[in-house]
Structure 1
């Protein structure tokens, strides 16, 4: 898909945004610092967005102060972020949409959902937390902010190591370069400090829209326990644990993450998420492969179905053989294709 970047006026300045795909809109808040141009050059990010864009219109934007948006910025508060988001939604004339926030974008998306329950069809939150202050002890937060301000090159590499633990050097070097291109040292520190200061714990129980919370099980940047707490504070929220340690949703198992989101949104549109019958698979195998597409581990599927892990292992092997696939990612793709071609069973 081709990306076209446009601009919208907000009270704080012009923001750059991109619209990809067709269908019901998803407004995607990218998180801390971003750069629409450089992000589109990352194959994994582009694949993730394009997967969502098969069924939806995906709208992404660089927040004020970074990327292709206006760089000068004075306000660094939750209110200023909500003001920018409201301006973009008004500019696009959106009446009903899904809001999807990553990192502190998840906090902003949640606050927006509280204020706009009639406009927000669904809320998606990834890798976020209720209180930014819980991300690290105060001395650690001060040290990171000081390092970014004093030496952005070193600071960007430290943050890349936190976001990509154990990743090859070329991955962390690439992400460090993108961070430095996306924002100045002063802006990066100010935006990270804003994340540390935002606290939405008190308003999360007021959310009244269908909510899916996704979180990386092994994330160092935002520990899984913080995502689990956030989900517990939102009435009726579903929590999905994604395997891996990389913080960006698009850098590890991006196909499974996209399939999980699409499955949730299709359910909200009236289906149950169950696959139509397939002569190759038994009903139990269909249940197992559908849960695999949602990002669940074999142990989690076993608990959900009330069977042993060994039984689920056997079902997974049978599915691999019958479908002629090797990986769980290929199973997730098969599930997505089946739902698109055959539709969903109704309750």
Structure 2
């Protein structure tokens, strides 16, 4: 079928240029998910069988049903849909998928929408507002990209690698986080220095640098006092910030977090050897961008994901930063240590951790709960370091977060 430009809702899909836009601003979608969306829109007069989608997206290669499910979820998120909110793409159980929204068609030769001088805003899944990416300067002059999304009381999320503000809204690894975190509140997030849309070439990645970056972002947004969420190594940054600025942090939420990096917390020769081996493997893997290493790396974050999802994680990790910076992150995070200042956190603190976290042992959550005076610990039944959308622990995490912030 020849290329055309389809208009539905606030969206415009150019199937020839392979471009999705919302109100004239481009929405970045991974190629396979965009191909799926184009095929469904072009064949909107019927239910498209799953077998047809598998054959079309495979381009002669085998595609797993898990990969198809991931691309379908990504396509839905890109246009504000979800598995339960099927206003555009409806799943017809036992048959396939059907693009059900009303669409108008214009010629593919029509001029493309004018380029905007600002960084493209990406529509929030399930929300009508735009997200605008802005920039500020940290203490050492490093450019930091940040964004605010949603309406209501603020929630600041510290940066953590991996992230990319312009891609995260439609990336299966993160999209459900922002759908959940922006519910009835304003989410403030930013890219780590050396990562995403923040400056890639930076002098250092120390804990002090990361705390300064967070301080610069909340100053740029104009926040005086706010709850703070730290995920993974972003948890150590959140602890350090709350300890240094108790007057600004009203509540602290830590998930998949740790007080001491792997090299610091190694307590005997065997643990020190294991930490060094882990870092040596990471050095070799990130320098070579070896696929088997990146899949192994992904499995530490998403233990219960499929191989196709691990490969998607690996592809995403390549987009977020350079191999050299990836290695610098891993080396710095292995040495991070906030155990000596965690006792200075004075705000109520909620610590949530997977019992069988494959990346950060549950002992680290226990240590944080011991060190932070006014803290409570909740352990969830999961193996994932980062909760996936399909993880039964995910809605439980959101429920605990919402209740804690509402107290």
Q: In structure 2, the residue corresponding to 1:238 is in which secondary structure?
A: strand
Matched, 1:70 2:169: no
| Residue of 163, 171, 174 corresponding to 2:312 | 174
* Mapping of residues 1-347 of structure 1, within 5 Å: 1=127, 2-10=130-138, 11-43=140-172, 45-133=174-262, 134=265, 137-154=274-291, 155-251=293-389, 252=391, 253-267=393-407
RMSD (CA atoms): 1.8
Return the alpha-carbon distance in structure 2 between the equivalents of residues 183 and 107 of structure 1: 21
Q: CA deviation at 1:122?
A: 0.4
Cα distance in structure 2, aligned partners of 1:112 and 1:166: 32
Q: State the shift of 1:45 in Å.
A: 2.8
Distance 1:165 1:44 in 2: 13
CA contact (8 A) 1:156 1:180 kept: no
Q: How far apart in 2 are the matches of 1:74 and 1:250?
A: 34
1:167–1:261 distance in 2 versus 1, CA, 3 Å: same
Measure the CA separation in 2 of the matches of 1:209 and 1:122: 5
CA distance in 2, matches of 1:33, 1:223: 19
Q: Specify which structure has the bigger relative contact order, considering alpha-carbon pairs within 8 angstroms and separated by 6 or more residues.
A: 1
Does 2-11 or 85-94 show the bigger shift?
Answer: 2-11
Q: Distance in 1 between matches of 2:396 and 2:150?
A: 19
Tell me by how many angstroms 1:170 deviates: 1.2
Report the TM-score when normalising by structure 2: 0.62
Name the SS of the counterpart of 1:36 in structure 2.
coil
What is the CA–CA distance in structure 2 between the aligned matches of 1:166 and 1:214, rounded to whole Å?
18
Q: CA deviation at 1:46?
A: 2.6
- Report if aligned partners of 1:35, 1:67 keep a CA contact under 8 Å in 2: yes
1:266 and 1:74, CA in 2 relative to 1: closer, same or farther beyond 3 A? same
Counterpart-to-counterpart distance in 2, 1:240 and 1:35: 29
Decide which structure has greater strand share: 2
The structure that has the greater radius of gyration is 2
Q: In 2, Cα distance between the equivalents of 1:144 and 1:232?
A: 32
1:26-79 alpha-carbon deviations (Å, 9 max, x no partner) = 110242221122221135633332222222211111111011111111112100
Q: Distance in 2 between matches of 1:187 and 1:22?
A: 34
Query: Closer, same or farther in 2 for the Cα pair 1:35/1:176, shift >3 Å?
Result: same
Which residue number in structure 1 is paired with residue 36 of structure 2?
none
Report the alpha carbon displacement of residue 120 of structure 1 after superposing the two structures with TM.
Answer: 0.5
Q: Which SS does the other structure have where 1:37 is aligned?
A: coil
Please tell me whether the aligned partners of residues 302 and 388 of structure 2 are also in contact (alpha carbons under 8 angstroms). no
Change in CA separation of 1:193 and 1:19 when aligned onto 2, cut-off 3 Å: same
Aligned residue-pair number: 267
Greater helix share, 1 or 2?
Answer: 1
Q: Which runs of 5+ in 1 are unaligned?
A: 268-347
Ranges in structure 2 where 5+ consecutive residues have no aligned partner? 1-126
User: Are the counterparts in 2 of residues 125 and 212 from structure 1 also a CA contact under 8 Å?
Assistant: yes
Distance in 2, Cα, partners of 1:5 & 1:76: 22
1:97-153 Cα shifts (integer Å, max 9, x gaps): 111111111000001001111111101111111110338633233323322343123
